[in-house]
Each structure stands twice: as C-alpha cells, then as structure tokens.
Amino acid sequence: MVSAFGINHKKYAGNSTSFSTSIAFSNVKDEFDFIRLDNEMVERPYLNIDESNSKITFSHNTSYQINPKLNLKAGLNVNSILFDMDISSNKEPEDFTTYSEVVKTKGNTFLIEGYANMHYLLKKNIVFSFGLHSNYFFLNNDFSLEPRISTKWSINEKHSLSLRYGNHSQIEPLK
C-alpha cells in the first residue's frame, strides 16, 4: 500500500525573488505471507514479510533573478525517514524446522539535502546551468557533494536539444 500527501506555499517578494516551502508525507507498506506444503502435504510457514517505510519531508527554496540573464535558486530538504521491518523465513528452504525471525527492527534517521543552481541565458535560445547538490545521510554518516552542469539550445518553440552532466545519488528504501 502506498500513501502520500503534502502542502506547498509560495510567496513572492517583488519581481525578482520567490520563496517556496513544502511539507510532505509518504508511506509504503508491504505485507507478504508465503506458505508451502511439506512432504506430508501439511501447510507450513515459509516466508513472512511485514515492513513499512515512511518519510516526512520539509523543503524550502529561494529563487532570485540577479539580472535578466542570470537566475539563482538555492534550497534545503530535510527528510525524516521511519522504518519498521519484521521478516521471518526458513534458513534452509526444505527444512521447515528452521523457520525463525531473520530481522526485526524499528527506527528512524534523517537525510538532509542542500543545493544551489545558477541559470545563465547566453543568447535568447541558449541557456547554461551549473550547480552543486549535497547530501548527508545520518544512518551511516555518509556525505556527498555532487556537481551538475547543463546547456539547452531551443531550436524553435517546439524543439530543443539539451546536454547534461552530473553526479546523482539516492538512498535505497530501508528494507
């Protein structure tokens, strides 16, 4: 089961600055019960998975038009990640006496992301962008700094050609 909801507020300060703030919640819950028949055709538990991952995200960004050709956008995302896992299984697939708890844990951690991007209009149909994105994951104290760069050529109103490069990382679901 998947559920999500959020709310966003945007405020303008003059013609050149805007602020956007969001709060969102998401949850993914998986439940599986697998049963197998033994040699006497008796149902035996084989695998049980009951896990839930929830995330509460607070985001804020500021956009500022420095001049008609140069724009800056910077922001911060704070993610509270909650996890709950209960997994039981047979350690030996054909030996039903080995059915036991494999993992049972519950906890929470944080992921903080900061970023800044600049967009420069070289010509009316060519935009050059560059930025820096950072992540800090509290569960394993991992920090990453990821540069990003792109250019976009608008050939006409309906077509454009883009070239982008950057490091992009993400955390896997805590399962």
Task: Examine the pLDDT at 174 and tell me if it is beyond 80.
Answer: no
On whether residue 44 sits in a domain, the answer given is yes
Model confidence pLDDT, tens digit, residues 1-40: 899 999 999 999 999 999 999 999 999 999 988 888 878 8
Burial code (b: 16+ CB inside 10 Å, e: under 16) for 138-162 equals eeeeeeeeeebebbeeeeeeeeeee
Q: Look at residue 91 and tell me if it is in a domain.
A: yes
Which three-class secondary structure state does DSSP give residue 98? helix
What b-and-e string marks burial along 13-51, b requiring 16 or more CB atoms within 10 Å of the CB? Answer: eeeeebeeeeebeeeeeeeeeeeeeeeeeeeeebbbbeb
Looking at the domain assignment, is residue 157 inside a domain?
A: yes
- Looking at residue 153, the DSSP 8-state letter turns out to be E
Which residues constitute the domain of residue 79? 2-166
Please tell me whether the overall predicted TM-score, pTM, comes out greater than 0.85 for this model.
no
31: in domain: yes
Strand partners, 83: 53, 107
Span 57-65, mean pLDDT?
A: 98
Quote the pLDDT of residue 101.
84
What radius of gyration, in Å, describes the C-alpha atoms of the chain?
24
Look-up: residue for tokens 């559920």? 3
How confident is the model over 134-165, as pLDDT tens digits?
A: 999 999 999 999 999 999 999 998 999 999 99
**Tokens 């001049």, residue?**
67
CA trace torsion 151, 156, 159, 163 (10° rounding): -10
Q: Is residue 60 part of a domain?
A: yes
Say if residue 94's pLDDT is above 80: no
User: How many domains is the chain partitioned into structurally?
Assistant: 1
Is residue 175 included in any domain, yes or no?
A: no
